[in-house]
Amino acid sequence: MLSNRLPFEARRRAGRLTLTRSPGGLVSALDPVLEQTGGSWIGWAGISDEELRKAGGLPRPKARGIRYTAVQLSQREVAQHYGQFSNRTLWPVFHYFLEHASYEAPSWAAYDRVNERFARVAVERAPDDALFWIHDYQLLRTPFHLRRLRPAAAIAFFLHIPFPAADVFRVVPWSRLLVRGMLGADYIGFHTATYAAHFLTAAERLLGCEVDRPKGLIQHEGRTVATGAHPVGIDAAAMEQLARAAGTGGRPTAGERGVLGVDRLDYTKGIQQRLQAVERFFELHPEHRGRVVFTQVAVPSRERVPEYGRLKREIDENVGRINGRFAGPDWAPIRYLSRSLDQATLAGLYARAEVALVTPLRDGMNLVAKEFVAAQVGAPGVLVLSELAGAAEELQEAIHVNPFDVEGMAAAIDSALRMPTEERRARMAALRDRVRVGDAKSWADRFLADAEVAARRGKASAPTPVEQLTRRLEPWLAQRDRTAVLLDFDGTLTPIVEHPDRARLSRAAERALRTVAGARHLEVALVSGRALEDLRGRVPDVGLTLVGNHGLELEGPGIRWQHPEAAAWEAGLEAAARAMEGLDAPGAWVERKGLTLSWHVRQVEAGRHAELLKKGEGLVRAQGLRSVVGKQVLEARPPVDWHKGRAVLYLLTHRYGEEWPTRVRALYLGDDTTDEDAFLSLRGIGRSIRIGGPDPSSAADHGLPDTEAVHRLLHWLAAGAYLGPNR
């Protein structure tokens, strides 16, 4: 079990740390699961590294068969990961409050770093056959890091807040990385089918994943990821027992009638709109004045965050204004409690209330609604529930309201108070039955059962990466009669070798190249950092277009071109080459390529790579040249605004005219940093495929794992089945 917080909180008292058990249904649901399986719970203890050291370390919690491990975070990490990115980026966006969101690169970096630390701690603590169950929005990237550290692991993830519509979610600059993070899991659970559908759309649109909507399956990087809706429950039996112990004895037929709201203080909970509805209710229905009291419990939250402080002041002022407007000598319309209450006290409030107003502006589930239902052990009350809470999909017998509709909520309060006893009893009986059946334990049991099935099925049922990619490309390619296939050489068509002179096309690579070169609906160009003469000697003479020196020179059928300014820098390139050869760098060598040069450090001891590349960059820049760092290589080029991307656009325009996207599809395959220029140049007007392991920072549209996958893709392209029988 991985969650942002452990199920207890560490607090300093008299210079020592004490552990206090966290309340809530989630802890009571998950603890028994871990006790039964003998599991571990990994999370932050609520205290920074600095405070932990001052207090002499964390006391050992009572185990009860569970192993607890605290992930240590510095004060800065807590502020950036939790305070900033989790709660000021993800929380507002996932709840559709974009005006509250901020997007800061340092907080994103801290978020990802902390997620990776959670994954590393989990891998260190867990046996090989463990099922990892990761919880909530603070750890969206943890499945990705876990999958990287333990590829065969069984991983499940559950999101406890809404997942927003894809067009809302994508406003987060790192949305693609977050989706990729979640897709490290075998199974991803949401409260509702709507949230799951939003995630399927995000995976499809942002990462180009193949999605099976009816089955809730996503194909991602050779794996099948399953999704499902699992509305979380509460410990209904415990809440019912607390309500009975409160001794309600039924509600009086005369005297005070209670309407109740219970919320954590947060702008998503709609407390201000609810107060406006209560005010409107007393305006429209003066007969209820002196008889109905609305009790609002607002549990303080994130008190150090300025916007939460402002919200509390505004609520305080609103309560005072409404009470001042309607209160009499012996009655006030609103009873306002701004503090935490224990479960027993809350159970008594639930049981005595005739109406519960649960009207968040947006909520993943909202367990207050279920707690109120479970506590109805006497005369039945009425639940007025926001249609924008996840619980609304389950609790159909409640009175549903739009939380932004003040008039509608006021009318719902009056309707609930006037509802006949028979109707109250019928609605509440159905609600109580559903809350009992879908309690927290059954939620955990169902989720884990589905997660284990998904983990077993994941790899066995997944199509190959090439099959996934061709399904995505097929409808796009079929819209044109011709496709330009643009291929890098080293690392794409043929594997990277220790020395570039040793690179040779394998039989499989040459066969694939000859096949695509012979297909009439394809045009093939090799786009390489090698010199044109070098490239010409390594490929068969089958009518290919060759682009050398990162685009500075081209030749092929009907074209022969060299950048007009490139040759003027040959003296500077030679001076840089001699300076590099003069460095103390055993194993490094310079590759002179005419218009450019490469300095290879692959065979230098690994610890010196960064140092030598930095020195080399200085030598290159001293000659006024451009430097580009690739895979253990430094490229020196003339200082002209030209690269592989510019060369590809030049070639396509030469072949097909300025309106080439209306005549041909352009598909670029590359593996290195130097290919990113082409990925960016073709974004939106072509498609690009990165070869190698996943790289979230790449601008490529798609990915393939290795050169063998490239060969299979080339054969598929040459077959041209996507063009149809008449083309």
Summarised one tens digit per residue, pLDDT across range 193-239 is 999 999 999 999 888 888 999 999 998 887 899 999 999 999 899 99
Residue 528: its pLDDT value, please? 94
Residue 252 pLDDT class (50, 70, 90 cuts): very low
Residue 15's pLDDT band (cuts 50, 70, 90) = low
157 bridge partner residues: 134, 188
**pLDDT tens digits for 577-592?**
999 999 988 989 898 9
Cα–Cα dist 274/283, whole Å: 14
What share of the chain in percent tops pLDDT 70?
95
CA dihedral 31, 33, 39, 43 (to 10 degrees): -40
Tens of pLDDT, residue by residue over 591-612, are 898 999 999 998 888 888 888 9
Torsion angles phi and psi, residue 492, rounded to 5: -120, -60
Residue 682 phi/psi, 5-degree rounding, is -95, 0
pTM, entire model: 0.78
Q: Which amino acid does the sequence have at 664? A: V
For range 550-567, the mean pLDDT: 94
What are the tens digits of pLDDT across the range 397-432? 999 999 999 999 999 999 999 999 999 999 999 999
The DSSP symbol for 674 reads G
| CATH for the stretch 2-72+111-229 | 3.40.50.2000
Strands 292-299 and 257-264: parallel
- Closest C-alpha among 552, 480, 539 to residue 513: 539
| Virtual torsion, Cα 164, 170, 173, 176, nearest 10 deg | 90
Report residue 482 CA to chain centroid gap: 37
Residue 652 pLDDT exceeds 80: yes
Task: Give catalytic residues, as residue numbers.
Answer: 488
Token pair belonging to 683: 């974004």
The tens digit of pLDDT for each residue in 344-391 reads: 999 999 999 999 999 999 999 999 999 999 999 999 999 999 999 999
Task: Tell me how far apart the alpha carbons of residues 644 and 646 are, in angstroms, rounded to a whole number.
Answer: 6
pLDDT at residue 320 in the model: 96
Q: How far apart are CA 551 and CA 549, in angstroms?
A: 5
- Ramachandran assignment for 57, one of left (phi > 0), alpha (psi -120 to 50 degrees), beta (any other): left
Residues 132-154 pLDDT 10s: 999 999 999 999 999 989 988 99
For the chain, what is the total number of helices (H) and then of strands (E)?
A: 26, 29
**pLDDT attached to residue 165:** 97
Regarding the domain delimited by 567-637, which CATH topology (the fold level of the hierarchy) does it fall under?
Alpha-Beta Plaits (3.30.70)
**Domain spans of the chain, in order of start:** 2-72+111-229, 254-437, 465-563+642-723, 567-637
Contact 297, 337 (CB under 8 A): yes
Q: Which fold has domain 254-437?
A: Rossmann fold (3.40.50)
Which pLDDT belongs to residue 253? 43
Is the distance from CB of 150 to CB of 174 less than 8 angstroms?
A: no
- Helices within 85-208 (DSSP H only): 91-94, 105-125, 142-149, 166-169, 175-182, 193-207
Contact 132, 16 (CB under 8 A): no
For residue 254, pLDDT beyond 60: no
User: How close are the terminal C-alpha atoms of the chain, in Å?
Assistant: 55
3-state SS of 175-224? Answer: HHHHHHHHCCCCEEEECCHHHHHHHHHHHHHHHCCEEECCCCEEEECCEE
465-563+642-723 and 567-637 in the same fold: no
Chain segment 277-286, per-residue pLDDT in tens? 999 999 999 9
CATH number listed for the domain at residues 465-563+642-723: 3.40.50.1000
pLDDT, averaged across the chain: 91
